[in-house]
Amino acid sequence: MLRLSNLDLAEDGVPHLADISLDFRPGLTTLLGRTGAGKTTLLRAIAGLAHPFGQISFNGQDWAQLPPWHRPVAMVTQQFINYPHLNVLDNLAFPLIRRGEARAAALAAAETMLGRVGLAQMASRRPSELSGGQQQRVALARALVKGAPILLLDEPFVNLDYNLREGMREELMALLQSGGETTVIYASTDPREALRMGDQTVLMSEGRALQSGAPRAVFAAPAALAAARVVNDPPINILSARLDATSLDIDHLGPFPRDALPEDLPPGGYSLALRAEDIRQNGTVSARVALTEVSGSETVTHLQAGAQPLVMLERRVQSHPLGAEIRLALDLRRALIYGADGALIAKGAAHG
């Protein structure tokens, strides 16, 4: 088991890691967070490339004094990093030869792995002669051929186009199926990717690990407002609400039926987090279109209701003219309810 205890790292007063304590077991864990959340720094710390305060241990062995070249870690980064002066086959054999394996055995293992990632025909080419996707596949194969017990994947497919990314993700999952006891940590900014891939998910923001657990459970109940922001794409709507015994009032949007929120919720001020798919057309809230994005068969519309920004997701291709007025229906019964300290208190009435 890979154990991180109280990791702290700051540069020029900016925290990159803040009191991170996590355990990683064999299987795939996704690190989910926006750019700058600290995912890469955390992976680099595990690899020995960043040096935070705190403790990192693997199977009981303290890694404090262990340099990167002695850590049983393989890593694939966003950039396509291969050895430019070696051909593809030698690239894959390189770590095995450095580990002391005989050249013939290393080349044989490299050739097998090259076949598995579908690049057998490219063995004698230099990385610069390959496409971006092929280069990243070489980098991935070089990480896998080492058979390291810890595999760190730092947004490995982010620089690839959509189709290639989907294909590579499937390939990776298939390759990892036979990975046995490998601890795989996959950093991503895409909540859907995290939901689809991981056995476990860790949400990160501003250098902190906000929440960890099974992806679906984390998605269903983000423990903090910051976690709700991280785990939702398109962005979740945050509404400032005031509740009393008989009414519910939302800043800039006006009064709503009290029964949208649980009956036993005490009066007070709350933050309601409402997913974009829980806002629909044909309601009573007036808003103007600020931006429309069509992605595949979905439409994300950014709106402005007075001073309140809103995001609506429609599962169809829809064209909303810029500045057009739309009447929205907010399904507050599906809202997540957070207290003044940002912690999850309850869910809307529809969650039961």
Where on the chain is the footprint of another protein (CB under 8 A)? 47-49, 67-69, 71, 73-75, 77, 79, 81, 83-85, 94-95, 98-99, 126-129, 142, 146
Instruction: Order the strands of the 27-33 sheet from edge to edge.
Output: 73-76, 150-154, 183-188, 27-33, 200-205, 208-213
Nearer to another protein, 85 or 316 (CB): 85
Residue number with CB closer to another protein (74 or 335): 74
Q: Report, in Å, the least distance between residue 45 CB and another protein.
A: 13
**Residue 111 per-residue DSSP state:** H
Integer Cα distance of 310 and 331 in angstroms: 13
CB of 15 to another protein, least distance (A): 21
Residue labelled with tokens 């657990």: 213
> Given the complex with another protein, which of 48 and 339 has the nearer CB atom?
48
Least gap, CB of 165 to another protein (angstroms):
21
Distance CA(297)–CA(244), nearest Å, equals: 41
Q: Give residue for tokens 């702290």.
A: 8
Select 101 or 331, whichever has its Cβ closest to another protein.
Answer: 101
Q: Which is nearer to another protein, 184 or 273 (CB)?
A: 184
Query: CA torsion sign, 52 to 58 to 60 to 66?
Result: negative
CA 153 from chain center: how many Å?
Answer: 11
CA distance 114 to 120: 5
Closest CB 70 distance from another protein, rounded Å: 8
* Distance in Å, CB of 127 to another protein, minimum: 7
Nearest distance from C-beta of residue 95 to another protein, angstroms = 4
Q: Phi, psi at residue 287, to the nearest 5°?
A: -145, 155
Closest to another protein by CB, 49 vs 175, is 49
Chain centre to alpha carbon of residue 12 = 26
Query: Between 75 and 305, whose beta carbon lies closer to another protein?
Result: 75
In sequence order, the 6+-apart residues with CB closer than 8 A to the CB of 197 are 28, 30, 169, 173, 186, 188
The SS3 of residue 269 is strand
Closest approach of another protein to the CB of residue 143, in Å: 9
